[in-house]
């Protein structure tokens, strides 16, 4: 049940749930200011001492201040669960922002009174975009999709080892590979053509239309601009010694002024060790965006985030992830052993510069990638 009050914050409604908790829209009783409050609950079980310890670590996030990084105002413990109070972003996730309907929502917002409040209707409309308008991969169909499992896949959450869906290396746990994930086909998204087939393979009409939508100059311009802002945010958090570890489109929001905010940075660090594992061996992060070194349980650095950024860019350019599979083991195998189809083989009219950047970001060896977010920024600006 939704709490009415969490500390001095009056809970107004639920913005959504993710792998480690629920985000509420709330009002600070002291200032009457609207905030977003993230109450952690899906992570490792903890007593109030552990929660307090975690909150003390979260306090470091309050010192961060950057226009592209969501502001953390406050932290606390509510019934043994840590919470973070953040700037409330009235906006869309990056994927929705880049969709046609997202564009409409944004232009309506800026042409009206300027208030861009995500209504539940807008949220559900934007969720539909993935399957209908945007031509994007069926994130919601795969058990290892990046989007909120609680909303779209029942109990299929896997991020931060959500209850009943934990995965350990080297052997993924059975519940995760159970019947639910077998029933859905994460490869349902149709490629414009079989990349292994002859060049004369006909391009399906509706798929060509989807690609056309992905390549609209307005959309590509917004994609590039958003990527530049994400690079600025990453450069900032990396300079502060943080690795995001769970970068994905739903952790990137864009407001009506087209200002990007990176969310959930640093949380993973506090929930996992250097290699991205929790104490009980569960992986922190979202499988689809994990670099090889994270899959292998190796220590992570800022270049892990750059890999995830590359997956995001690849997806947003092609409508499908670079690696897709029906089980985590297959996915990990592909990430470790195979090369993804070239962006421009899937989307022939994709922006070549962006495609080059995406491929360099998703190189398997961290040394072969761009080494810093600043380098990515420069490559995108060329």
Ligand X SMILES: Nc1ncnc2c1ncn2[C@@H]1O[C@H](COP(=O)(O)OP(=O)(O)OP(=O)(O)O)[C@@H](O)[C@H]1O
Site for ligand X in 30-69 (CB under 6 A): 36
- Distance CA(291)–CA(302), nearest Å, equals 11
Return the H-helix or E-strand segment holding 235: helix 217-239
Tell the residue number behind the tokens 């958003």, with chain if given. Answer: 226
Applying CB under 6 A, the span of 109-117, 134-142, 244-252, 320-328 interacting with ligand X comes to 244-252
Q: What does the block give as tokens for 165?
A: 């869906």
Q: What is the DSSP letter of 174?
A: G
Q: What does the block give as tokens for 11?
A: 């809970």
Q: What is the DSSP letter of 42?
A: S
Q: How many CB atoms lie within 10 A of CB 43?
A: 25
Tell me which of 3, 6, 9, 23 binds ligand X, using CB under 6 A: 23
Site for ligand X in 156-195 (CB under 6 A): 159
Q: Which of 74, 140, 246, 324 is catalytic?
A: 246
- Distance CA(84)–CA(76), nearest Å, equals 7
- Distance CA(343)–CA(220), nearest Å, equals 14
Tell me which of 3, 19, 135, 340 binds ligand X, using CB under 6 A: 19
Under the binding rule (CB under 6 A), the answer on residue 6 touching ligand X is no
Strand partners, 72: 86
Applying CB under 6 A, the span of 9-17, 169-177, 178-186, 348-356 interacting with ligand X comes to 9-17
Under the binding rule (CB under 6 A), the answer on residue 251 touching ligand X is yes
Q: What does the block give as tokens for 90?
A: 């009235």
Under the binding rule (CB under 6 A), the answer on residue 82 touching ligand X is no
Q: Closer CB to ligand X, residue 139 or residue 332?
A: 139
- Distance CA(295)–CA(230), nearest Å, equals 23
Q: Closer CB to ligand X, residue 250 or residue 347?
A: 250
Under the binding rule (CB under 6 A), the answer on residue 284 touching ligand X is no
Taking the complex as a whole, the smallest distance from the CB of residue 136 to ligand X amounts, in Å, to 16
Taking the complex as a whole, the smallest distance from the CB of residue 164 to ligand X amounts, in Å, to 16
**Residues 6 or more apart in contact with residue 54 via CB below 8 angstroms:** 40, 46, 82, 270, 271
Under the binding rule (CB under 6 A), the answer on residue 88 touching ligand X is yes
Question: Going by DSSP bridges, is the β-strand pair 33-40/72-78 parallel, antiparallel, or unpaired?
Answer: unpaired
Under the binding rule (CB under 6 A), the answer on residue 75 touching ligand X is no
Residue 246 annotated to the active site: yes
Under the binding rule (CB under 6 A), the answer on residue 250 touching ligand X is yes
Tell me which of 8, 16, 44, 297 binds ligand X, using CB under 6 A: 16
Taking the complex as a whole, the smallest distance from the CB of residue 367 to ligand X amounts, in Å, to 28
- Report the Cα–Cα distance between both ends of the chain, in Å, rounded: 51
Under the binding rule (CB under 6 A), the answer on residue 148 touching ligand X is yes
Residues that bind ligand X (CB under 6 A): 15-21, 23, 36, 70, 86-89, 93, 148, 159, 246, 250-251, 253, 263-264
Q: Which residues are catalytic?
A: 246
């Amino acid at each position: 049940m939704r709490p009415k009050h969490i500390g001095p914050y009056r809970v107004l409604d639920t913005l959504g749930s993710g792998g480690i908790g629920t985000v509420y829209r709330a009002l600070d009783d002291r200032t009457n200011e609207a905030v977003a409050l993230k109450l952690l609950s899906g992570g490792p079980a903890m007593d109030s001492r552990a929660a307090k310890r975690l909150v003390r670590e979260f306090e470091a996030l309050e010192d961060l201040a950057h226009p592209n990084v969501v502001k953390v105002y406050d932290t606390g413990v509510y019934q043994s669960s840590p919470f973070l109070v953040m700037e409330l972003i009235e906006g869309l996730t990056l994927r929705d922002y880049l969709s046609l309907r997202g564009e409409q929502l944004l232009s309506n917002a800026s042409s009206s009174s300027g208030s861009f409040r995500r209504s539940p209707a807008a949220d559900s409309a934007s969720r539909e975009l993935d399957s209908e308008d945007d031509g994007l991969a069926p994130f919601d169909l795969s058990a290892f999709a990046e989007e909120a499992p609680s909303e779209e896949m029942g109990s299929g959450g896997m991020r931060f080892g959500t209850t009943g869906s934990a995965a350990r290396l080297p052997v993924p746990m059975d519940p995760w590979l159970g019947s639910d994930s077998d029933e859905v086909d994460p490869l349902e998204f149709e490629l414009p053509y079989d990349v292994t087939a002859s060049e004369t393979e006909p391009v399906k009409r509706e798929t060509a239309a989807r690609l056309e939508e992905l390549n609209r100059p307005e959309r590509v311009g917004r994609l590039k601009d958003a990527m530049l802002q994400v690079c600025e945010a990453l450069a900032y958090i990396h300079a502060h010694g943080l690795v995001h570890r769970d970068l994905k489109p739903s952790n990137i929001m864009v407001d009506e002024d087209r200002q990007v905010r990176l969310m959930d940075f640093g949380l993973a660090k506090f929930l996992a060790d250097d290699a991205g594992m929790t104490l009980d061996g569960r992986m922190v992060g979202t499988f689809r965006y994990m670099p090889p070194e994270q899959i292998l349980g190796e220590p992570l650095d800022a270049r892990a985030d750059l890999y995830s950024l590359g997956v995001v860019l690849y997806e947003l350019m092609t409508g499908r992830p670079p690696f897709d599979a029906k089980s985590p083991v297959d996915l990990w195998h592909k990430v470790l052993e195979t090369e993804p189809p070239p962006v421009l083989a899937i989307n022939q009219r994709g922006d070549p510069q962006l495609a080059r950047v995406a491929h360099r970001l998703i190189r398997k060896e961290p040394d072969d990638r761009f080494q810093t977010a600043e380098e990515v920024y420069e490559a995108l600006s060329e």
